[in-house]
Amino acid sequence: MAGHLKKQLKDAVKIISSGSLLFASYLTVVGDERFYANQLMPLLQRIVGAETAHVLAVKMIGLGLVPLNCYQDPASLEVKVLGLTFKNPVGIAAGFDKHAEAVDGLYKVGFGFVEVGTITPKPQEGNPKPRVFRLTADQGIINRYGFNSCGLEEAQLRMKARDATRQQLSRAGLPLGINLGKNKLSQDAGADYLEGVRALGSLADYLVVNVSSPNTPGLRNLQGKAELQQLLQRVLKERNALQGEFKPPVLVKIAPDLTAQDRQDIADVVTELGVDGLMVSNTTVSRPETLRDPNKCEVGGLSGQPLKDLSTNTVREMYSLTKGKMPIIGIGGVASGQDALDKIRAGASLVQLYTALTYQGPPVVTKIKRELEQLLEEQGFSSVSEAVGADHREEKGMICKCSSQQKTVTVEKDVASLAALSSS
């Protein structure tokens, strides 16, 4: 009797285990947002190191092994900017698909645009490992990769092989951006960027000049006014010399750790030279006092939720300094529809994410788009473009209203004073 009961219990455990596995597999395939964010991703983070997880994610997405995505982008999420059409405003930031190995899989996840790189002229290994650290308690990441890159030659071959697909997807509202950088030991940073433009310019829908990674010695010095002006003059000239009718827009990716004068200088330079847009922002070397994770003291660039407010404020200031005439892509801490809308209202036409993918998995993309669609409707915007810079317009309206009220009060006081004088 006891033996029979024991066998029944074993069978029951097997059935329950099999059922749980099947159910977990189902949730994985259909892309259940809560399952990924609360169960699957935390489990994977406990058993797989940060960089290994990154490499595996790129490989799996590159093979097209992504959750089902049934969400249809509504017309309200379409954005026309930089001379391009974006089916939705949510892109994958540079740093995830460094070697352009998972482009088509990333579109399958639901991104409205993909940015690959940073790609340097010569292949380089980057900084020594370990160089990626999760700040789970803070929903952030510190990395000091240091532009590990396959180099221009390999990237060019890979992207040439799918260039017909790129052009087709671009026409369908799914552009491709290429992020360019310099080699660590290069003596001529400008020459490195020019080489990147020549090799990859014709294979991109837009190009990014990355002068803001904190993990390449001396790179951020290129954000200085004179250095940036000289660099961008050369890059734009090289871009204009590319063969073919289409000349890809050139954007500059800047750091969030800039002084007020730095930001003003950058705004002046990009406006004067006619740069097409700004990427705001890269990772930060600052460490907010609110950080709780033991990894908070690691050296490198901090991304994710701890960067969110700093990057949004930088978006807001750059929009103001460029008088709302410079398209901005907002990056840093985007993990929800509200996060995306905050950056859009601050002045971003598009947004990018990366760290949120680490903590919530591929379903986070659909979640952000669905929430953004709902928020736009609730706040009375018919499109993303209508919401771009809304905070500035509201602020201006408040100032005008206050000024008008003050004038009214002054007039009333003057009338009262005249009445008092007349009665006396």
Tens digit of pLDDT for each residue in 147-197? 999 999 999 999 999 999 999 999 999 999 999 999 999 999 999 999 999
Q: Please tell me the predicted confidence (pLDDT) of residue 218.
A: 86
Mean pLDDT of 395-414: 59
Give the tens place of pLDDT for each residue, 235-268.
999 999 999 899 999 999 999 999 999 999 999 9
Phi-psi region of 222 (alpha: psi -120 to 50; beta: other; left: phi over 0): alpha
Q: Please tell me the predicted confidence (pLDDT) of residue 1.
A: 54
Angle at 99 between CA 167 and CA 332, to 5 degrees: 90
DSSP H helical ranges for 138-252: 152-161, 163-171, 189-200, 225-240
Q: Per the structure block, which two tokens stand in for 286? A: 């600052």
Cis peptide before 212 (omega within 30 of 0): no
In the predicted model, is pLDDT for residue 402 greater than 90? no
Q: Please tell me the predicted confidence (pLDDT) of residue 401.
A: 57
Give the tens place of pLDDT for each residue, 18-37.
444 333 444 465 568 898 89
Long-range contacts of residues 40-48, Cβ cutoff 8 Å, at least 24 apart? 40/361, 41/358, 41/359, 41/360, 41/361, 45/134, 45/136, 45/358
Which of the two residues, 342 and 18, has the higher pLDDT score? 342
Q: Please tell me the predicted confidence (pLDDT) of residue 193.
A: 97
Helix (H, G, I), strand (E, B) or coil at 121: coil
pLDDT band per the 50, 70, 90 thresholds, residue 412: low
Residue 22: burial class (beta carbons within 10 Å; 0-12, 13-18, 19+) = exposed
Given a contact cutoff of 8 angstroms between Cβ atoms, the answer to whether 78 and 85 are in contact is: yes
In the predicted model, is pLDDT for residue 199 greater than 80? yes
Mean pLDDT of 389-405: 74
Give the tens place of pLDDT for each residue, 202-223.
999 999 999 999 989 888 888 9
Q: Please tell me the predicted confidence (pLDDT) of residue 396.
A: 73
In the predicted model, is pLDDT for residue 104 greater than 70? yes
Q: Please tell me the predicted confidence (pLDDT) of residue 403.
A: 55
Find tokens 């950056």 and name the residue: 343
Mean pLDDT of 388-412: 69
Per this entry, what is the length of the chain? 424
Q: Please tell me the predicted confidence (pLDDT) of residue 217.
A: 86
Q: Please tell me the predicted confidence (pLDDT) of residue 14.
A: 47
- Residue 218 to residue 131: CA distance in whole angstroms: 19
pLDDT band per the 50, 70, 90 thresholds, residue 415: very low
Which of the two residues, 19 and 2, has the higher pLDDT score? 2
Cis peptide before 130 (omega within 30 of 0): yes
pTM: 0.89
- Residue 370 to residue 44: CA distance in whole angstroms: 26
Give the tens place of pLDDT for each residue, 289-323.
999 999 999 999 999 999 999 999 999 999 999 99
- Residue 92 to residue 105: CA distance in whole angstroms: 12
Give the tens place of pLDDT for each residue, 41-70.
999 999 999 999 999 999 999 999 998 888
Residue 307 has, within 13 A of its CA and on its CB side, a CA count of: 31
pLDDT band per the 50, 70, 90 thresholds, residue 73: very high
In the predicted model, is pLDDT for residue 110 greater than 60? yes
Q: How many CB atoms lie within 10 A of CB 189?
A: 19
DSSP characters over 126-163: -SPSP-EEEEGGGTEEEE-----B--HHHHHHHHHHTH
Query: What sign does the dihedral 178-180-183-186 (CA atoms) show?
Result: positive
pLDDT band per the 50, 70, 90 thresholds, residue 3: low
Between the two ends of the chain, the Cα-to-Cα distance in Å is 113
In the predicted model, is pLDDT for residue 7 greater than 60? no
Q: Please tell me the predicted confidence (pLDDT) of residue 19.
A: 44
Question: Of the candidates 27, 26, 20, 28, which has an alpha carbon nearest to the alpha carbon of residue 60?
Answer: 28
- Residue 12 to residue 288: CA distance in whole angstroms: 51
Determine how β-strand 90-92 pairs with β-strand 113-119. parallel
- Give the catalytic positions in this structure: 213
pLDDT band per the 50, 70, 90 thresholds, residue 17: very low
Query: What sign does the dihedral 232-235-238-239 (CA atoms) show?
Result: negative
Query: Rg of the chain's alpha carbons, rounded to an integer?
Result: 25
